């Protein structure tokens, strides 16, 4: 009886080690993909440029959001797309949405109002891209160039595919997120991309509020 129990224990340990190895390899491959996406610029002629939202302060874009908008403006002036979609809703206590602050920033730099579309409801990357996909589809558009921070590229590209957009990414190179903070975010994005590929990004987004209540799971 003891001999059988030991054999079962050894077999269980071997299975656990194999599973740990598989998970490690999966995460390592995903990290490399996230890192490579962060360093790639796939900008090409598109129907629209979509800028992922970030913090704004009473109508003034944060440095992170401004860097994304500056890059989108550069792409627009190069003729990559005739329209810029700015995204992001309002956080509790805010007077302005991220999209409103972003639109004003672009307008002040010469982008005509008719060339700016606003997605003002999204509280996450998935919500913003899903909403953008819906109103772009109504115009017969799906070919887009996504602008965000480098570490964000792999995940927004995967989400865009999930919501039906034909997307490429073109990350800003002037983001204030650098050094150790960027590497930490690359690690977090690796976990998010890895989980999203297994469970679906929509499902993860729907469970966001619950996940944030559980210590250690908020990073997903």
Is 105 exposed, middle or buried (CB count within 10 Å of its CB: 0-12, 13-18, 19+)? buried
CATH number for 48-169: choose from 3.40.50.150, 3.40.50.620, 3.90.550.10, 3.40.1280.10: 3.40.50.620
Domain boundaries, the chain: 2-38+184-211, 48-169
Alpha-carbon dihedral sign for residues 122, 127, 132, 138 = negative
Taking each helix axis from N to C end, the angle separating 98-108 and 63-77, rounded to the nearest 10 degrees, works out to 50
* Cβ neighbours for 58, distance < 8 A, ≥ 6 positions apart: 94, 95, 96
pLDDT at 175: 96
Is the pTM higher than 0.85?
yes
Give the tens place of pLDDT for each residue, 107-159. 999 999 999 999 999 999 999 999 999 999 999 999 999 999 999 999 999 99
5 HSE (CA, 13 A, CB side): 2
The pLDDT of residue 1 is 63
- Do 128 and 144 contact (CB within 8 A), yes or no? no
Total residues found in the chain within this entry: 220
């Amino acid at each position: 009886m003891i001999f059988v129990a030991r054999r079962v224990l050894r077999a269980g340990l071997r299975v656990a080690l194999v599973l740990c190895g598989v998970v490690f390899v999966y995460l390592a491959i995903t990290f490399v993909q996230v890192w490579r996406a962060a360093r790639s610029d796939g900008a090409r002629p598109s129907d629209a440029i979509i800028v992922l939202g970030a913090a704004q302060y009473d109508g003034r874009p944060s440095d992170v959001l401004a860097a994304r908008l500056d890059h989108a403006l550069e792409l627009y002036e190069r003729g990559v797309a005739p329209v810029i979609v700015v995204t992001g809703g309002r956080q509790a206590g805010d007077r302005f949405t991220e999209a409103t602050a972003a639109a004003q920033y672009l307008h002040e730099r010469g982008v005509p109002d008719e060339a700016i579309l606003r997605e003002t409801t999204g509280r996450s990357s998935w919500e913003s891209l899903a909403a953008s996909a819906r109103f772009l589809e109504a115009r017969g558009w799906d070919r887009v160039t996504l602008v965000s921070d480098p570490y964000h590229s792999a995940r927004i590209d995967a989400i865009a595919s999930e919501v039906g957009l034909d997307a490429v990414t073109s990350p800003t190179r002037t983001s204030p997120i650098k050094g150790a903070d960027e590497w930490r975010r690359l690690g977090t994005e690796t976990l998010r991309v890895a989980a999203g590929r297994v469970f679906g990004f929509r499902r993860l987004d729907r469970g966001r509020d619950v996940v944030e209540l559980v210590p250690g799971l908020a990073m997903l």
